């Protein structure tokens, strides 16, 4: 059987195209006239779906088709019915609904984040319970190492910061109290502010920015290199080996850093009071002795809670790091922001609680 090559003859007659032969996919390139040009199809012998699609497109553009046989008309109708129809554009969502949806997503995301933090807090406490039952399995060397990294290396910056805060408080307080002849009360202002609030709060913020990022980076790097999976393969518990020493080290050293911060702040306030107001160190100490010990207790009670918050947030962010460096950087930044925000919220909650109970 010999297959003949399809041929199409195109003639122009009175601003129309007169076709004869085969209008199929191989001959469509010969229709080089504008889409609105009329076409006479009386002499067309063969028409396939490609030709029918082209004729439907030209007819939709305004071209007049004449001379169609019944068979060709049916084919054009079939091809036109099978043409895909574009999906209608979705209706515009009102602005108030978009805002409400975004708010709901943020609230649900925050609730899920709180649930995850509660889970990691529970895992830390469970790991501590296991360590108490089997003390030989507790990584004491890691605890000492992280205590050194969290405490000793943070002493200079905490000391300088608190010293300057004490200087600023004394300078600003003396400016205001001098108007009422109550300069001596600047000692009470400095002592209560630093011992009760600023000493431990600023220390926790510094530790949150310094240690939370370090926790996330160290654990996240291990997760990127699949070292945590290797630990599980070797039968080691990551909660006991990685999370517990870091969190426990913070809980131990943050009260010590808080005391160092308070002493540095009082020293700065005493020096500025001596220079600015003429309050001698002996008078400053005598006035300081009248300050209630409850203010010191309030500051120290906050320290372990702040340490637990910073440690859990930093370790949780580290365990959420993916397989790329971009994820590590993103989670490190998120850990610092979340830890500082959580510390400030916790301090506000403590302030309300102590005010209610009369401390």
| Residue 48 reports pLDDT greater than 70 | yes
Contact 250, 207 (CB under 8 A): yes
| Element spanning 324, H or E | none
Per DSSP, the three-state class of 114 is helix
Query: Which tens digits make up the pLDDT trace of 297-333?
Result: 888 888 899 999 998 998 888 888 888 788 888 888 8
**Structural domains of the chain, with CATH:** 8-82 (3.30.750.24), 105-357 (no CATH)
Question: What's the pTM value of the predicted model, to 2 decimals?
Answer: 0.70
User: Does position 198 have pLDDT exceeding 60, yes or no?
Assistant: yes
User: Could you read off the pLDDT of 284-296 as tens digits, one per residue?
Assistant: 888 888 888 888 8
User: Helix (H, G, I), strand (E, B), or coil: what is residue 112?
Assistant: helix
CA 326 to chain centre: 12
Which pLDDT belongs to residue 4?
61
171 — phi, psi (to 5°)?
A: -65, -50
SS3 96: helix
Question: Cα(92)–Cα(103) distance, rounded to whole angstroms?
Answer: 19
Region 170-195: mean pLDDT is: 80
Question: What whole-number percentage of the chain has pLDDT above 90?
Answer: 6
In whole angstroms, give the CA distance from residue 277 to residue 291.
Answer: 20
User: Which tokens is 196 given?
Assistant: 């009760």
DSSP lists the bridge partners of residue 47 as: 23
Q: Output the pLDDT for position 343.
A: 92
Q: State the Cα–Cα distance between residues 241 and 131, nearest whole angstrom.
A: 10
Bridge partners of 9, per DSSP, are 20
| 52-109: pLDDT as tens digits | 888 888 888 888 888 888 888 888 888 888 877 777 777 777 888 888 888 999 999 8
Strand partners, 11: 18
Torsion, Cα 42 48 52 58, to 10 degrees, reads: -80
**Separation CA 307–CA 246 (nearest Å):** 10
**Is the pLDDT assigned to residue 1 strictly greater than 60?**
no
- Give Cα separations from 43 to 6, 48, 216 (angstroms): 14, 15, 79
Using the predicted structure, report yes or no on whether residue 199 has a pLDDT greater than 80.
yes
Mean pLDDT of the chain, nearest integer: 84
Structure-block tokens of residue 143: 């605890």
Distance CA 63, CA 3 (A): 33
Q: What tens digit of pLDDT does each residue of 213-245 get?
A: 888 888 888 888 888 888 888 888 888 888 888
- Please provide the size of the chain in residues: 359
How far is the C-alpha of 42 from the C-alpha of 240, rounded, in Å? 87
């Amino acid at each position: 059987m010999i297959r003949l090559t399809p041929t199409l003859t195109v003639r122009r007659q009175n601003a129309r195209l007169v076709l004869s032969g085969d209008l199929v996919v191989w001959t469509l390139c010969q229709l080089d006239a504008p889409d609105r040009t009329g076409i006479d199809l009386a002499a067309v012998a063969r028409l396939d779906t490609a030709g029918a699609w082209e004729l439907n497109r030209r007819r939709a553009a305004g071209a007049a088709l004449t001379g169609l046989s019944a068979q060709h008309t049916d084919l054009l109708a079939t091809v036109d019915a099978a043409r895909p129809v574009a999906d209608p554009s979705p209706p515009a969502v009102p602005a108030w609904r978009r805002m409400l949806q975004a708010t709901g997503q943020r609230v649900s995301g925050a609730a899920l984040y709180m649930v995850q933090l509660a889970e990691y807090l529970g895992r830390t406490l469970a790991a501590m319970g296991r360590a108490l039952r089997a003390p030989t399995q507790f990584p004491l060397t890691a605890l000492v190492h992280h205590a050194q990294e969290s405490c000793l290396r943070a002493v200079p910056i905490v000391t300088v910061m608190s010293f300057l805060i004490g200087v600023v408080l004394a300078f600003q307080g003396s400016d205001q109290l001098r108007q009422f002849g109550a300069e001596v009360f600047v000692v009470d202002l400095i002592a209560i502010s630093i011992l009760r609030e600023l000493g431990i709060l600023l220390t926790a913020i510094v530790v949150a920015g310094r240690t939370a990022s370090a926790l996330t980076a160290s654990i996240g790097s291990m997760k990127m290199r699949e070292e945590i999976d290797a630990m599980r393969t070797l039968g080691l518990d990551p909660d006991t080996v990685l999370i517990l020493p870091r969190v426990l080290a913070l809980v131990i050293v943050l009260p010590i850093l808080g005391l160092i911060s308070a002493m540095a702040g009082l020293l700065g306030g005493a020096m500025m009071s001596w220079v600015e107001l003429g309050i001698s160190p002996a008078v400053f100490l005598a006035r300081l002795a009248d300050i209630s010990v409850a203010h010191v207790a309030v500051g120290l009670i906050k320290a372990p809670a702040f340490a637990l918050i910073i440690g859990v947030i930093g370790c949780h962010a580290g365990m959420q790091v993916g397989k790329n460096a971009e994820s590590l950087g993103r989670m490190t930044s998120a850990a610092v922001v979340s830890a500082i925000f959580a510390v400030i919220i916790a301090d506000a909650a403590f302030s309300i609680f102590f005010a209610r109970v009369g401390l």
